[in-house]
Amino acid sequence: MATRSVIATPGFTGVATSGANIRSNTGMDFEPEYIAVNAAGTKAWVTLQEANAVGVLDLGTNSFTKVVGLGAKDFSLPDNQIDPLNNSAVSFISPNVKGLYMPDGIAAYQAGAGVGQTYLVMANEGDFREDDADRSAAGSSPLNAAAPLNNLRISNTDSSVGDLYAAGARSFSIRDENGNLVFDSGDRLDKEAFARGIYDDGRSRDKGVEPEGLALKEIGGRTYAFIGLERTTKGAVAIYDVTDPANASFVDMLVTDGDVAPEGITTFTSGGMHYLAIANEVSGTTTLYGLAPVPEPETYALMLAGLGLIGFMARRRA
C-alpha cells in the first residue's frame, strides 16, 4: 500500500436495467452502500439501497453491466406480518402493504455441489432520502390510509391510494447472482426480537428491527449468516444456517447486554478458532465472540462463547 491509484470509477449512465420496483423517481442519484465479490474475483454486486436495486459490476472491464430492481415484499402474505403501530401494544398483522427490500449489507458465497453457484445474502434495512422528502405517513393526504396503517411511514413516490409501499422488508434475503429471490426470512426477525423482549415498538411504524450489517462464516462444513439488527433495545445478531440457500434455517439470536445498534459485523479465523466481531453504533461498544460447531444428532448448533467483551468492559471502566 506504499502507492495507491484509482484504476476506474464505474458509473451508471446508460447501464441496462431489469427486475422490478427500481426507485428512479426520488430526485436523487444511486447511492452505493455495500459491495460483495464472487470467489473468482470476476464480478461484484453493489447494493443501491434507496433505489431498491443492486448493481452488477464486471471486474474485468471495471464497468457496471446492469442494475437489477429487487421488487417488493407482500406483507399481506402468511409469515410476512408486520406491526405498523408504535403504540406500546405490539400486534403483528397481515396488512395490505408491500415493502421495498432496499438492502444495506451484502455478502456473497458459493453453495451446491462441485464449484457451486454464487448466492447473495442481503440485509433488507430500507431507507429514505436524507431529507425525508420521499417519506410520508400513510394516513396523510392524498393517500388517507385508515387505521391501523395511518401512521405507517411509506414511500410517497411509490405509493398510491390502496397501494402502499413501505421502506425495507424487515428481513434478510438470499438471491442468486441474477438477483432472483431464493429465500427470505419473512417476519422471523421481528418476532424473534419480540419473543426475547428486545423488540423496539417505537420503530414499528418505520422499518421494524432494521437488519443492516451482515457477515458469513463457514464452520464445521456449514455456512452461517450473521445479521445485525440496528433497532432493538439490546444488541442483537440473528444467526441462520444458509448452507442450503433455498432452505435456510434459523439457528439463534445472539443478544448482548450493554450493546445497542450493531453496525459493522465481520468474521475471521485465528489460531484455529472462529470469531464474530461486532461494532455497535449507539452504545459505542465492540464485542468479540468465539464460534464453534457443536455436533448434534442429524444437525448442528452454534456454541457462542463471549470472549472478553473488550469494548464493553472499557466503556464500563470509563
Say which CATH number the domain at 35 has: 2.120.10
Alpha carbon separation from 147 to 95, 98, 161, 192, 200 (Å, rounded) = 11, 16, 14, 25, 20
268 is in which domain, residue-wise? Answer: 16-317
At 109 the pLDDT is 98
- Provide the domain count of the chain: 1
Query: Which helix or strand (DSSP H or E) is residue 34 part of?
Result: strand 32-37
**Does the residue 60 lie in any domain?**
yes
The model's pTM is 0.92
Residue 94 pLDDT > 80, yes or no?
Answer: yes
The Cα–Cα gap between 120 and 128 comes to: 23
CB neighbours (10 Å) of residue 102?
A: 29
Q: Is residue 2 part of a domain?
A: no
Q: Is residue 11 part of a domain?
A: no
Q: Produce one character per residue of 72-91: b if its CB has 16 or more CB atoms within 10 Å, e if not.
A: bbebeeeebbbbbbbeeebe
How far, in Å, CA of 233 to CA of 267, rounded?
23
pLDDT tens digits, 260-285: 999 999 999 998 899 999 999 999 99
Domain annotation covers residue 77: yes
User: For residue 10, is it within any domain?
Assistant: no
Residue at grid coordinates 433495545: 233
Evaluate whether residue 149 is within a structural domain.
Answer: yes
Average pLDDT, the chain: 91
pLDDT band with cut points at 50, 70 and 90 for residue 293: low
Alpha helices, H only, 167-269? 188-195
